[in-house]
Structure 1
Amino acid sequence: MTLSRFACVLGFTALALPALGAEVNATASYVVTVGGINVANVNVDLSDDGSRYALDLKANVAGLGSLVASGTASVTASGSSGGSQLTSQEFDLQTKVKGDTFTVDVSYAGHNVTAFRVDPPLIDNYNRVPIERSHLTNVGDVLSSFVIKGGTLDKSLCRRNLKIFTGVERFNIVMAFAAEDEATSARTGYQGPVILCNMDYQPVSGHFTTSEMTNYLADSDRILIWYAPLGETGYFIPYRVLLNTSVGDLSMVLTSMKP
């Protein structure tokens, strides 16, 4: 898995949102493990002035053989927080591995992609599924898409069909309710009731048909996300994400939250 791909995986796990209509700045921290081995520490800075939001994710990745490359990743997303949902306007990703830098910049307007740039550019070949113009409409970024605004801590949190464009790939995440659960570990950043959802990854375009990771995720029936309430704000954040890999479970868990 490339570090940019890993950063996008981090993106749909390490998310949070401040209170509706109130100016809030907060930080959430997560730890990522593969097969029980720590491979990354992730911090997310969150801000919302009541009309605009910003998410800033930074990850230090120790790496694990050929599965995850070591390096650093930075992901930012921003847009409008008015109304009943977040609306993406900007998404930026940068990874650094052994002196090489990879960047992605995407601009959105009204849930549609208006421009995107990848540097260095990906080389298209017959193994890469072309990104069509129709794939760039009614989409969001990979960070903001996983913030749930409003509702209650029940199965309704899982009734979501996410359409995501990362600047490199276009895919869908179809969520479904799995169970009501309880977070009890004192080592995590939250203890209390959580909602468990199944996630079905559906690649659309931009991916390589020969990619083992893409095919594995598409075939997997065990991609799970637990949602927890963000205090009394009426927002819900990922508490944990779990997916199976050939070398063991990849897990990201919330370790602390500073509102």
Structure 2
Amino acid sequence: MPRSSHALVAALVIALPTAASAASPQSFKGEYTVSFLGLSIARSTFSSHYENGAYAIEGSVSAAGLAKLFDDTRGTISSKGTISGQKMVPQAFRADYTSGKKASSIDIRFSNGNVTSTRVIPAPGKRDPKAWVPLGAGDLASVLDPMAATVIHADSLDQVCGRKVKFYDGEMRADLTLTYASKGTISVPGYKGDTVTCQMGFEPVAGYRKGRKALNYLKNKSRMMVTFAPLGQTGVYAPIHATVGTQIGTLTISARRFEAVQ
């Protein structure tokens, strides 16, 4: 998988709200823009549906603006699973995308929240055992896929932050920690109301190469802030705005539309 494509998909996944947890069927739609230094570099859209304790999400991502001159990446992402209490229990995650003429895909399957299989095309190359941190026993138990990891089930805005999320993207296992930063309000097409902002910490656990500067920066120096808003009356809180500090500048992910649909 091209590293640039992987990074784009990871960034956009932050901006893909997922399922609802209400008793009646509910659907949501959203549109997001990723910008760098004020310039739009990517766009994403999503649709999600919840019914009878099951969720399903479909999204699309594509490079935009000047980014298309350097990496014309586009693709689709899907996720499905169930909700048990306030816990997301993924069943399957898939991403299919192209960068230029190169096609890539990630397919992850789960059972009771544990990863049972991972298929990445093209297959990763041989790993240097001295430089690579391998996945260990238990690393893929009770983890969330990239979509399920982006939403929070909570009783109120006050309880959204103050938690750790175990995240697996088909190669790397990492922990995301959310610490309370502030409350506020926001107005975008489809939503106007209260929000809560968490500072997000990043800790790679396994499935990565030691000494990678980008990962070290995310872990030790990056300032990552995620603002959550409620999806209707569902008890689900999804990102509506985020900033991610990188070695070359700050990525900003903003909702252009964030709404429940009939």
TM-score, normalising length: structure 2: 0.90
**Amino acid in the other structure paired with 2:217:** Y
Matched-pair contact (CA < 8 Å) for 1:16–1:28: no
How far 1:188 sits from its partner (Å)?
5.4
**Amino acid in the other structure paired with 2:136:** E
Matching residue within 62, 85, 88 for 2:87 = 85
Structure 1 residue aligned with 2:30: 28
Structure 2 residue aligned with 1:136: 140
Matched-pair contact (CA < 8 Å) for 1:76–1:92: yes
**Where has structure 1 moved over 6 Å in runs of 4 or more?**
none
Structure 2 residue aligned with 1:165: 168
How far 1:89 sits from its partner (Å)?
0.8
Number of residue pairs aligned between Structure 1 and Structure 2? 256
Q: 1:81 is paired with a residue of what secondary structure? A: strand
Matching residue within 48, 51, 61 for 1:49 = 51
Matching residue within 102, 113, 116 for 1:114 = 116
Segment of structure 1 superposing worse, 168-177 or 242-251: 242-251
How far 1:179 sits from its partner (Å)?
1.1
Structure 1 residue aligned with 2:186: 183
How far 1:17 sits from its partner (Å)?
2.6
Instruction: Tell me, in whole angstroms, the C-alpha distance in 2 between the residues paired with 1:224 and 1:83.
Output: 27
Structure 2 residue aligned with 1:242: 243
**Amino acid in the other structure paired with 1:80:** T
Structure with the larger strand share: 2
How far 1:248 sits from its partner (Å)?
2.6
Instruction: Tell me, in whole angstroms, the C-alpha distance in 2 between the residues paired with 1:192 and 1:72.
Output: 32
Structure 1 residue aligned with 2:97: 95
Where does the alignment leave 5 or more consecutive residues of structure 2 unmatched?
A: none
Matched-pair contact (CA < 8 Å) for 2:44–2:59: yes
Q: Which deviations, in whole Å up to 9, do the C-alpha atoms of 1:42-66 show, x marking residues without a partner?
A: 0011011122101112111137669
Matched-pair contact (CA < 8 Å) for 1:171–1:202: yes
Q: 2:127 is paired with a residue of what secondary structure? A: coil
Segment of structure 1 superposing worse, 130-139 or 52-61: 130-139
Structure 2 residue aligned with 1:219: 220
Instruction: Tell me, in whole angstroms, the C-alpha distance in 1 between the residues paired with 2:197 and 2:171.
Output: 29
How far 1:210 sits from its partner (Å)?
4.3
Matched-pair contact (CA < 8 Å) for 1:11–1:142: yes
Q: Which deviations, in whole Å up to 9, do the C-alpha atoms of 1:153-208 show, x marking residues without a partner?
A: 12x20021001111111111011111112225xx5553322101011000111222
Instruction: Tell me, in whole angstroms, the C-alpha distance in 1 between the residues paired with 2:166 and 2:71.
Output: 27
How far 1:220 sits from its partner (Å)?
2.6
Where does the alignment leave 5 or more consecutive residues of structure 1 unmatched?
A: none
Q: Which deviations, in whole Å up to 9, do the C-alpha atoms of 1:87-117 show, x marking residues without a partner?
A: 0110111220111111111111122111111
Matched-pair contact (CA < 8 Å) for 2:179–2:200: yes
Structure 2 residue aligned with 1:207: 208
**Amino acid in the other structure paired with 2:170:** G
Matched-pair contact (CA < 8 Å) for 2:195–2:229: yes
Q: 1:141 is paired with a residue of what secondary structure? A: coil
Matched-pair contact (CA < 8 Å) for 1:34–1:251: yes
Name the Cα RMSD after superposition.
2.2
Matched-pair contact (CA < 8 Å) for 1:20–1:50: no
Residues 189/40 of structure 1: CA separation in 2 closer, same or farther (3 Å cut):
farther
Residues 19/63 of structure 1: CA separation in 2 closer, same or farther (3 Å cut):
same
Matched-pair contact (CA < 8 Å) for 2:90–2:144: yes
Identity %: 23
Instruction: Tell me, in whole angstroms, the C-alpha distance in 1 between the residues paired with 2:39 and 2:107.
Output: 31
Residues 253/14 of structure 1: CA separation in 2 closer, same or farther (3 Å cut):
same
**Amino acid in the other structure paired with 2:177:** V
Instruction: Tell me, in whole angstroms, the C-alpha distance in 2 between the residues paired with 1:178 and 1:74.
Output: 32
